[in-house]
Amino acid sequence: MAHSTPLRVLFWGTRSTFSGAIFHALQSAGVDICALFMHAPSAPWQSDLHPRRVAPFAFPPYGQANADNGNAHLAISLDLATAPESTLIAGSRQSDAPVYDIFSLQTPELPALIRRLQPHVACVACFPQRIPSDLLHLPRHGFLNVHPSLLPAHRGPAPLFWIFRNGTQATAGGVTIHHMDARFDTGPMAAQVAVALADGISGPEAEQRCTQKGGELLVQVLQALAAGNLVSQPQPAGGSYQSWPQTTDFRLDTNWSARRAFNFMCGVAEWGTPFAVEAAGETIHLRRAIAYDAGQKLSTPVRYIDTSLVELQFSPGVLVAQQ
Mean of all residue pLDDT scores within the chain:
88
Query: Could you give the 3-state DSSP secondary structure of residue 278?
Result: strand
Total length of the chain? 323
In the chain, domain spans: 8-227, 247-322
CB-neighbour burial class of residue 41 (10 A; exposed 0-12, middle 13-18, buried 19+): middle
Contacts of 164 (CB under 8 A, 6+ apart): 203, 206, 263, 264, 266, 267, 268
Residue 211 banded pLDDT, cuts 50, 70, 90: very high
8-227 has which CATH code?
3.40.50.170
Q: Are strands 143-147 and 121-125 parallel, antiparallel or unpaired?
A: parallel
pLDDT by residue (tens digit) across 168-198? 988 889 999 999 999 999 999 999 999 989 9
Q: What is the pLDDT of residue 77?
A: 26
The correct answer on CATH 3.10.25.10 for the domain covering 247-322 is yes
Tell me the C-alpha distance between 162 and 159, whole Å.
5
Tell me how crowded residue 239 is: count the other CB atoms within 10 A of its CB.
15
Closest CA to 84 of 56, 108, 115, 63: 63
Contacts of 143 (CB under 8 A, 6+ apart): 12, 121, 122, 123, 124, 131, 136, 179, 180
pLDDT by residue (tens digit) across 131-169? 999 999 999 999 999 999 999 999 999 999 999 999 998
Query: Could you give the 3-state DSSP secondary structure of residue 179?
Result: strand
